[in-house]
Amino acid sequence: MDEFDQKMEISEQPQEEIVEKIPGRDVYETVSSLVSALLVVVLVFTFLVRLMGVSGPSMIPTLQDGDRLLVVNSLVWSLGYEPKQGDIVVLNKTTVEHLGGVAIVKRVIATAGQTVDIDFNLGQVYVDGELLDEDYINDYTYREEGTVFPLTVPEGEVFLMGDNRNHSNDSRDSSLGTVDTRLLIGKAVFLVFPGRDYLTEQREFGRIGLLQ
């Protein structure tokens, strides 16, 4: 190999890239990422979901007093969602001032156009003439609260009841009645942290998960 070939071989060897490290750059990128993540969380909990607590026994056994729930904001409904039969929803506190002025959680029993009838002697609930299979309730529906049945739910409204039927103030109460869907805060979808069971006084962490 002559001198010219040796020079060519040396020149073709890869050169190391020298990158100048700017002081504080790593810290800046880390802080920037954290701020961006925090902003996303704030936006999500402002416009999409919110964390709310259950107060009272009206939804036992599905929900316990002190449960923390993830609630899909009603603003999402403008994207096409509407409350459905069986959904667990949260009412705005201004709709129930006579019940203590706090937001309350109930289950959708019937939606607009459906007819609700209750046989208080047998404790049975009918929607459009069909007996509901309510495996989520704590007891049968014996408690009357003034609303006259059968009742057809008006357009844009829902009929709500608590799962703890004889310990719940809800749409059976003539002073509340059916509720305008625009007055709902949102739909409860996930149990984040359990309150204490009303019988055992223990927290059952196995309950954490999607709400049915």
Catalytic site residues?
58, 106
Give the SS3 label for residue 69: strand
CB-based contacts of 31, cutoff 8 Å, min separation 6: none
Residue 151's nearest CA partner among 95, 209, 112 is: 112
- What is d(CA 172, CA 141) in angstroms, rounded to the nearest whole number? 10
First and final C-alpha spacing in the chain: 81
**CB-neighbour burial class of residue 23 (10 A; exposed 0-12, middle 13-18, buried 19+):** exposed
Tokens 């506190």 label which residue?
93
CB-based contacts of 174, cutoff 8 Å, min separation 6: 145, 146, 147, 148
The two structure tokens encoding residue 203 = 């927290």
| 198 DSSP 8-state letter | T
Residue 149's nearest CA partner among 116, 110, 114 is: 116
